[in-house]
Chains A and B, each alone.
Chain A
Amino acid sequence: MEAKPSYDKLIFELSAPGRFAHSLPDLDVPSADPATLVPAQFVRATPPALPEVSEVDVVRHYSRLSLMNYGVDTHFYPLGSCTMKYNPKINEDMARLPGFARLHPLAPAAASQGALQLMWELARDLAEISGMDHVSLQPAAGAQGEFAGVLMIRAWHLSRGERRHKVLIPDSAHGTNPATTAQAGYQVVQLKSDEAGEVDLADLERHLDEDVAAFMITQPNTLGLFESRIHQITEMCHAKGVQVYMDGANFNAILGITRPGDLGFDVCHFNLHKTFTTPHGGGGPGSGPVGIKAHLAPFLPTPVVVKDGDTGYSLDWNRAQSIGKLQAFWGNFGMLVRAYTYIRTMGPDGLRSVSENAVLNANYILKRLEGDYDRATAGPCMHECVVSARRQKKLGVSATDIAKRLLDLGFYAPTTYFPLIVEEALMIEPTETESKETLDQFCDAMIQIAREAETNPHLLHEAPVTTSVRRLDQTLAARQPVLRWNAGA
């Protein structure tokens, strides 16, 4: 058992008037009082209530706070659908090279050829990995990649004089899919999954009509299953003029094995923070490039990085049918450098090996747990597996209880209660970077918990007890929101 950290400060609570950590130069230009350079009404009358602390206060405070977190560097993090693989350190060194980290986005093209070349090559590599014709690196995260993809589909239909209103989404989908679709102005129609957990073809057939703009699916799906009838699905859709969108959240299962473009998908996005080892950072920044087939190219977000034999690389803004921009500049470039570094490190064989080992690890966990937990689906899984705690639920132990107990046993928890179609779901994604030893330790812990559910459920209801805080009152937080620190509160 780990010692309970005994630290409960916020940076504001370390403040002492007159203390400071900054190092700023003296004013070196001849000037009047800076407060007189702009009219008085624009000069802040009262200073913001910000902390006054020393540099050692800052370093010690944030170091201590970091110890209250589990991360991939410290713990196995089997969070399903999030691909919490190891984030290589060399990526970080490369992203911090001054020519990348200290480059202004509006530096002239002639003064940013290295960055532009990196983006051009990365887009080309992602197109090859996905079998798509073009890739835009601009979307800031997966949800924005979805948004860009759906808007391109919308623009394509409109360019053909068709105004369609619906998008079909399976009931196993991530919440971003329906939210994105609604944000793009579409009505969402939810499709059932069949008993095996795949798309129900009959239900799809029933819903496909001339008012459907797109079918949006995750491949492999959120149950960890490869949609085996994918060619049939994409053909059925295309026959009705419906575009097929692949949510690429689970790309880690298929690198070098199969390609969305070859399966008939018109659009897919990537999550560089999942598949391509850019750090999750406690919840972003992500990076969500979007790949498309050639017929959607006129609608790509502006600007597009282009290569010209004579002048090198540049940004092409002259695209009349573009859906426009998604963020102010060109994409989360710092993440692009990391993903590029990773792809160059691995090479084609390495990337295929990534997916093979991700699939092996997930199946190994599934095998080891199937005696103690109910499988959500039959047969082998891809890169993640879903089990149900419905057996434990009958003993009064929920998926949440299991998750919390895992924290005490030294593991982060799987994703719980997702996909929504599985009762008491535990979605486990080990990734390829974990060893058999780690997987065994995790499975031993899961099996121990299954025993504890039978013999000592109280232990599970009380968990966690080793973390910096115990179970938190979510209801209180929502009923009486306290969303900022206040002096004396």
Chain B
Amino acid sequence: MRYISNTPAQQKEMLGRIGAASIEALLANVPAKARLSRPLGLPAAMAEADLVRHLRALAAKDASADDYSCFLGAGSYDHLVPSPINHLISRGEFFTAYTPYQPEASQGTLRTIFEYQTMMAELTGMDVANASIYDGASSLAEAVLMAHAVTGRNETAFSRGINPLYGQVVETYCEGPDLRLKRVALADGVTDLDALRRAVTDRTAAVVVQYPNFFGCLEDLREAGEIAHAKGALLVVAADPVNLGFLTPPGALGADIVVGEGQGLGVPMSYGGPNLGVFACRAELVRRMPGRLVGATVDRDGHRGFVLTLQTREQHIRREKATSNICTNVALCALMATIYVSIMGKQGLRRVGELATAKAHYAAARLAEVPGVQLRHRAPFFKEFALELPKAPERVVKRLLRDRILAGVPLKAFDRGAKNALLVAVTERRTKDEIDAYAAALAAAVA
């Protein structure tokens, strides 16, 4: 049998040593009544060549960003994944290791996480970042729980500019502790600061905004932070770190906790997962932080080494009193991001932002020239923007698929009022030719 190493002769020899007549005899504790008396109803084993053919056929039904011009965003982006990433993460020493419970035999993983924590702290402008959490949405949910734990307050002022898929995850996490999310309306694409001011009270644990927000618009974090801090609440910001080589980091604008989806940092889109949940905060809050943390220390000979630390926050020690139930991080995705940031470096990450925003502004201008098409908001945007189309976007999206263009995300699913709105993302990977082809196809589709 594939992937099983013992030969029948060895199995027999081992049973002899154990003193059992058969493997069945070893299963004596499984009562007869509990036994499955038939084979599992699964397809028969496939040989490798047949299996590859089958999976290739499945994959061929999907619109890969290799074959289509991808203008989809809303939390997952088609940024460049430089070649060395896949080669390096595929090294079995990284790929097939587990949580560094034995740090002496896990320094490779621990060092990369320490580097990752440093990079995320730098990008977000915060003091400290953890070893990562599942994804941007669950990171945001953990941040809301943490703000509740830090302040002892039960309400959160939650901007409608936050990715609605994140909002749904945060609601799930707020169910148990019975926390209340107060939605704060937008004004022309960004959080309405007057509405925010009215929503924040001395019961507010946190003000939560996204930067740039779901519609691509740039929020005034400094003002949001002042509103939060005036009432003793924390400012929690969701931000995509791939943008933060170019954009002013939230840490410089008053954020107390910064979370985000790090998929853009060299992690494949992979139909939405696995992703990379970034989580960073101010140093004073570190002992309330969820998730793993790697710290520097020394070994017996005085040499530098790295360990998992501050573990008394975590479930395997604290059990029901832990700061979170999270056990694993997403170490492999954090490694991808670490290698990505190393390759892009200080200059490259800024360049990614410059290219994306220049191309996004060009695309917005070209698409808004199409008769009947308008930009939905006037607020400054970065690499993503919403269009108002003259007809239902689902039909436009379907039509443009024929031209091998993934035109954008219709917003009706998230906001019934936005029945003709389409969210368009432009990364550094999109070319002028692709954008021009999109504009031409859109003109034909709405004509």
Output the nearest chain A residue to B269 by Cβ-Cβ distance: A104
Judge whether A180 is part of the interface by a CB distance below 8 angstroms.
yes
A337 to B432, CA, bound (A): 34
Write the nearest CB–CB distance from A265 to chain B, whole angstroms.
11
Q: Are B175 and A484 in contact (CB under 8 A)?
A: no
A226 to B88, CA, bound (A): 40
15 additional A-B residue pairs with CB within 8 Å, beyond A27-B358, A69-B108, A436-B13: A43-B246, A43-B247, A77-B96, A79-B101, A98-B67, A129-B42, A329-B275, A347-B45, A360-B11, A368-B17, A432-B3, A464-B105, A471-B104, A478-B295, A481-B293
Whether B349 contacts A48 by the Cβ 8 Å rule is yes
With a cutoff of 8 Å between Cβ atoms, the chain A residues found around residue B158 in the complex are none
Tell me whether B20 is interfacial, beta carbon within 8 Å. Answer: yes
Are B66 and A71 in touch, CB under 8 angstroms? no
A374 interfacial contact with B, CB 8 Å: no
Whether B432 lies near A106 (C-beta < 8 A) is: no
B95 touches which of A84, A279, A332, A434 (Cβ 8 Å): A279
Identify which of residues 323-366 in chain B touch chain A, using a CB-to-CB cut-off of 8 Å.
324-333, 335, 338-339, 341-355, 357-359, 361-362
Interface flag for A87 (CB, 8 Å): yes
A483 with B15, Cβ < 8 A, contacts A72-B96, A90-B52, A469-B305 known = no
Top 8 closest A-B pairs, CB basis?
Answer: A329-B272, A73-B92, A99-B59, A105-B272, A347-B45, A281-B332, A185-B176, A285-B274
Chain A CB within 10 Å — which of B72, B273, B315 has the most?
Answer: B273
Give Cα A257–Cα B11 distance, bound, in whole angstroms.
18
List 30 contacting pairs A-B, 8 Å CB cutoff, sorted by A: A10-B115, A42-B380, A47-B245, A49-B122, A63-B88, A63-B91, A67-B93, A69-B109, A87-B96, A100-B59, A102-B268, A105-B271, A107-B406, A111-B62, A128-B42, A143-B315, A226-B30, A230-B34, A263-B34, A282-B108, A284-B332, A333-B273, A346-B45, A364-B17, A367-B17, A404-B102, A436-B14, A468-B104, A481-B310, A484-B121
Contacts of A11 in B (CB 8 A): 115, 338, 342
A284 lies within 8 A of B331 (CB): yes
Q: Are A35 and B98 in contact (CB under 8 A)?
A: no
Contact B294–A284 (Cβ < 8 Å): no
User: Do residues B6 and A71 form an inter-chain contact, with CB atoms below 8 A?
Assistant: no
Q: Are B99 and A29 in contact (CB under 8 A)?
A: no
Task: Choose one: B41, B346, B428; the contact of A48 (CB below 8 Å).
Answer: B346
When the two chains form the complex, which single residue of B3, B100, B270 contacts A100, counting CB atoms closer than 8 Å?
Answer: B270
Query: Are A179 and B325 closer than 8 Å at their CB atoms?
Result: yes
A410, B253: Cα distance in complex, Å:
50
Mark out the residues of chain A between 283 and 304 whose CB falls within 8 Å of any chain B CB in the assembled complex: 283-287, 301-302
Complex: A287 Cα to B134 Cα, angstroms? 10
Knowing A37-B357, A63-B91, A352-B39, the reply to whether A179 touches B413 (Cβ < 8 A) is no
**Contact A112 B271, beta carbon cutoff 8 Å:** yes
Interface stretch (choices B161-169, B201-209, B368-376): B161-169
Query: Is B328 a contact partner of A283 (Cβ separation < 8 A)?
Result: yes
Chain B residues whose CB sits within 8 angstroms of the CB of A141 once the complex forms: 134, 326-328
User: B305 CB to closest chain A CB, in angstroms?
Assistant: 4
A44–B67 Cα distance when bound, in Å, is 34
Complex Cα–Cα for A12 and B346 (A): 11
The contact size tier of chain A is 35 or more
Contact with A along B19-47 (1 / 0, CB 8 A): 11001011111110111100111111110
Asked whether, in the complex, the Cβ of A35 is within 8 Å of the Cβ of B354, the reply is yes
Given A29-B435, A282-B335, A407-B102; A128-B41 close (CB under 8 Å): yes
Quote the shortest CB–CB distance from A139 to chain B (angstroms).
9
- Contact assessment for A179 and B40 in the assembled complex, using a CB-CB cutoff below 8 Å: no
Whether B137 sits at the interface, judged by CB under 8 Å, is: yes
Task: Choose, from B123-131, B181-189, B191-199, B229-237, the stretch at the interface.
Answer: B123-131
Q: By the criterion CB–CB under 8 Å, are A472 and B103 in contact?
A: yes
State in angstroms the CA–CA spacing of A483 and B308 once bound together.
10
Smallest beta-carbon distance B106→chain A, Å: 6
Inter-subunit contact A114/B62 (CB<8 Å): yes
Bits for B427-438, please: 1 = Cβ < 8 Å to A, else 0. 010011001000
Smallest CB–CB gap between A161 and chain B, Å?
Answer: 17
Known A-B contacts A98-B67, A231-B33; A27 and B355 likewise in contact (beta carbons under 8 Å): yes
**Least CB distance, A333 to chain B, in whole angstroms:** 4
**Interface presence of B420 (CB below 8 A):** no
CB distance A481 to B286 under 8 Å? yes
Q: Is A228 located at the chain interface by the 8 A CB criterion?
A: yes
Report A-chain residues with C-beta under 8 Å of the C-beta of B294: 483
Q: Is B284 an interface residue (CB 8 A)?
A: no
Contact B362 A29 (CB under 8 A): yes
Give complex CA distance A472, B136 in Å: 32
Q: Which residue of A lies closest to B91 (CB)?
A: A66
Is A333 a contact of B6 with CB atoms below 8 Å? no
Query: What interface size band does chain B fall in?
Result: 35 or more
A162 CB to closest chain B CB (Å) equals: 16
Q: Are A343 and B134 in contact (CB under 8 A)?
A: no
Chain A, residue nearest B51 (CB): A344
Closest to A131 in B: B36
A1 at the interface (CB under 8 A from B): no
By the criterion CB–CB under 8 Å, are B270 and A474 in contact?
no
Interface residues of A in 426-467 (CB under 8 A from B): 432-436, 438, 464, 467
Q: CB within 8 A of B65: which of A24, A57, A92, A104?
A: A104
A25 touches B (CB below 8 Å): yes
Question: Is B177 at the interface (CB under 8 A from chain A)?
Answer: yes
Question: Are the C-beta atoms of A68 and B320 separated by less than 8 Å?
Answer: no
Kindly identify, within residues 392 to 443 of chain B, every residue whose CB is under 8 Å from any CB belonging to chain A: 397-398, 401, 406, 409, 413, 428, 431-432, 435
Residue pair A90, B51 in contact (C-beta under 8 Å): yes
On chain A, the residues within 8 Å of B275 by CB distance are 327-329
Task: Tell me if A192 is interfacial: C-beta within 8 Å of chain B.
Answer: no
Nearest opposing residue in chain B for A354, CB measure = B4
Contact status of A361 and B6, CB under 8 A, knowing A102-B66, A282-B109, A344-B54 = yes
Which positions 1-56 of chain A face chain B at CB distance < 8 Å? 8, 10-12, 19-25, 27-31, 34-35, 37-39, 41-45, 47-53, 55
A362 to chain B, nearest CB (A): 9
- Per a CB cutoff under 8 Å, which of B293, B327, B342, B346 touches A176? B327
Confirm or deny: A159 has a beta carbon within 8 angstroms of a beta carbon on chain B.
Answer: no
> Is there a chain B Cβ closer than 8 Å to A470's Cβ?
yes
- Assess whether B44 is in contact with A347, with CB atoms less than 8 Å apart: yes
- Give bound CA distance, A230 to B35, whole Å: 12
Q: Does the CB pair A69–B105 fall under 8 Å?
A: yes
Residues of B within 8 A of A74 (CB): 92-93, 96
Q: A128-B42, A325-B137 are in contact. Are A477 and B92 (CB under 8 A)?
A: no
A188 at the interface (CB under 8 A from B): yes
Q: Is B298 an interface residue (CB 8 A)?
A: yes
- B74 to chain A: which residues have CB within 8 Å? 106
Say yes or no: A356 contacts B87, CB within 8 Å: no
Query: In the bound complex, do residue B42 and residue A343 qualify as a contact, i.e. CB atoms below 8 Å apart?
Result: yes
The answer to whether B117 has its CB under 8 Å from any CB of chain A is yes
- Nearest Cβ distance between residue B328 and chain A, in whole angstroms? 4
**Are A329 and B362 also in contact (CB < 8 A) when A20-B348, A129-B42 are?**
no
Roughly how many angstroms separate A348 CA and B245 CA in the complex, as a whole number? 50
Known contacts: A101-B268, A350-B2. The answer to whether A469 contacts B131 by CB under 8 A is no
Contact check, B330 vs A379: say whether CB atoms are below 8 A apart.
no
Find chain B residues with CB under 8 A from A425 CB.
none
Contact flags A180-211 to B (C-beta < 8 A → 1, else 0)? 11111110100000000000000000000000
- The answer to whether B175 touches A323, judged by C-beta atoms less than 8 angstroms apart, is yes
In the bound assembly, the distance between CA atoms of A357 and B34 in angstroms comes to: 19
